[in-house]
Structure 1
Amino acid sequence: MSFSYCTIQMSALSSLCEYDSEESDCDTKSTKNKKLKLRLPDLSAVPVIPTENYTDNCDLHAGRLRSFPHVRGNWSSFVYIQYTEDEDFLKLFKKLQAKVFEIDGSCYKCDDFHISLSKTVVLQYHLITSFSTTLQKILSDFESFKLSYDSVKIYCNEENTRTFVALEVDHFSKKYLMHMTDKIDNVLKEYNLPTFYENPSFHMSILWLNGNKKAQLINILDNLNDILLNKNLKTIHINKVNCKVGNKYFQYFLL
């Protein structure tokens, strides 16, 4: 029995030596310290695109251009109030859109409906958490409120690359939003970021056109305002404020 057992042991050891013959001399002492060598992957066929060479393709978003270049580590950010469309608003929107189409058939619906409470600023990644926390503290003291629109306005961005058809808030809503943006401006100053406009016009853009089409649209402004007045858009209850930082979204609830 002992002869058979020893034969099995020697046979097993021999098999191990044959399996590892490409890597060692079958020294049982050195086998304990041997590390498995992994073959390095071949990355020659993997394309590498450096972020510094990023090029904005305006054809991918209906001719829109960035207000400032894409830079790694910088996050486009702004504070705003989100508007949720209802059936009455959609009816109003379609009538306004049809009227604008008579002037320029290349107008587009805005991606989302909101009222800006700050300019679009550049926030560095490591400041996102503290910036959002500070905003939450100052906005938590504000009470929820009613908001309504009383006129149609035409705006053009600072670069003259886009023109907007927008709904402007009424006097009482504006008074409340002015107080809110004053507090938000104080936060922006802490982070050395641009504050809001000196005499802001609080509005919600609903349609946009490429280029500066302000002069053409002002010609039909009275017609657009007649459409708004005849629709009697409902008052909206606002109970939260939002902040978008790159692809991150923050929400701050009011009292």
Structure 2
Amino acid sequence: MEALAALQASYGGDASSDSDTDDATPVPTNSKEFPSPLPPPPLFLLNPSNSTPVGTMDCLQAGQAARVRSFPHVEGNYALHVYIPVYIPSVPKKELTLFLKKLASLVPGLHVVDVDVPLNSLYKDDHKLEQVALGREFHISLGRTVPIRAHQIDSVVAMLRQKLQFQKRYWIDFSKWQVFVNDDHTRTFLSMEVITGGLAEIRKQIHSVNEVYKLHNLPEFYKDPRPHISLTWALGDISDSLERVVGEEIRRFNVGSSLHKRIFTSKFGGIECKIGNKTYKICKFQDE
């Protein structure tokens, strides 16, 4: 964590900053600078064949150290985020580190999600690249990040626990590389998507979260949720070039490797709800 804090400090971040208190105006897609903080993170999926939107996404991992709400700050409001924590196991980290190292040399302007450190500043040190880019907690979002009032907090947490109080453990397969772009085309993200193992369970959990949101007049999640975690971001819409490079490198990197068929598998470890700076444990397991 010392290396992470030092890197954040050198690039203007703060390892202990409250990411939910920053506000910013989205920058034009053609901007040549890297503004901070980031614009709002909602995404839509791109069709690899023609780059047309085919489904709305919500990438909430984007820029945690300088993450910006997609809604204005209002005194007395608290940002609500419901998610599954995910950690990448040590074995696939090694292969992913090599893959990101190669991408850093081929795609300029890639940054590490959450800490906003340029990827090419890390690729000469494999250990540092692995620690900073892959050694942190990732989130699979189960609902939109939305503002709630103080008097709603207890009710939201209680209803989430009621709906999701008992869960079975299951395995989550991250088996597809996917490129996303946010709504105003100011950021492109490289993500790993859940398309097989764990997808049905996650969608059921999203449905339960939606029910709680509806009861509190909060906007529901997208109709066709595509669970994922994101690793890197770049300024503007570079989806075409990033998809091309990623596709070429997956084929060239190691045909038949885990990166080609299944990137990694993670065991479902629970559901958390972050409201402002406070994190709530939402579910228990039936075998406990």
| TM-score of the superposed pair, with normalisation by structure 1 | 0.70
User: Structure 1 residues 139, 209: CA separation in 2 closer, same or farther (over 3 Å shift)?
Assistant: same
CA contact (8 A) 2:88 2:264 kept: no
Assess, with a 3 A threshold, how the Cα gap between structure 1 residues 152 and 70 changes in structure 2: closer, same or farther: same
Report what 1:168 is aligned to: 193
- 4+ residue segments displaced more than 6 Å: 57-61
Give the conservation status (yes or no) of the 8 Å contact 1:88–1:233: no
Contact 1:189 1:195 survives alignment (8 Å): yes
Give the number of the structure whose alpha-carbon radius of gyration is greater. 1
Secondary structure of 2:81's counterpart equals strand
- 1:63-104 Cα deviation digits (max 9, x unpaired): 413322222111122111111233224323323322332443
- Could you tell me how far apart the structure 1 residues matched to 2:249 and 2:207 are? 31
> In the alignment, does 2:76 pair up with 1:73?
yes
Match of 2:99 among 92, 96, 99: 96
Deviation string, structure 1 residues 38-63 (Cα, Å, up to 9, x no partner): xxxxxxxxxxxxxxxx8649999744
Q: Can you give the 5+ residue segments of structure 1 that lack an aligned partner in the other structure?
A: 1-53
Would the aligned equivalents of 2:178 and 2:190 in 1 still touch at CA under 8 Å?
yes
Change (3 A) 1:123 1:61: farther
Whether 2:251 is the aligned partner of 1:220: answer no
What SS class does the counterpart of residue 197 from structure 2 fall into?
helix
Q: Hey, what does 2:38 align to over in structure 1?
A: 64
Match for residue 57 of structure 2? none
- TM normalised by structure 2 equals 0.63
Shift of 1:141: 3.1
**Number of residues paired by the alignment?**
202
Equivalent residues of 2:271, 2:281 under 8 A apart: yes
Unmatched tracts of structure 2, length 5 or more = 1-21, 27-32, 40-67, 115-136
| Cα deviation digits, residues 95-132 of structure 1 (max 9, x gap) | 33223324433212222411111111111122111101
The aligned residue for residue 230 of structure 1 is 257
% same residue = 25
More helix by share: 1
Which residue of 106, 110, 113 maps to 2:109? Answer: 106
Which residue is equivalent to 2:86?
83
Provide Cα deviations, 1:117-158, integer angstroms capped at 9, x if missing partner.
111111112211110111011111321211111110001122
**Where does residue 26 of structure 1 map in the other structure?**
none
Residue type at the aligned position of 1:83: V
CA distance in 1, matches of 2:212, 2:236: 33
Whether the aligned pair in 2 keeps the contact of 1:143 and 1:239 (CA below 8 Å) is no
What SS is found at the alignment partner of 2:83? strand
**Hey, what's the Cα distance between the residues in 2 that align with 1:113 and 1:224?**
24
How is 1:1-255 mapped onto 2 (pairs within 5 angstroms)?
56=24, 62-65=36-39, 66=68, 67-111=70-114, 112-223=137-248, 225-226=250-251, 230-231=257-258, 233-255=263-285
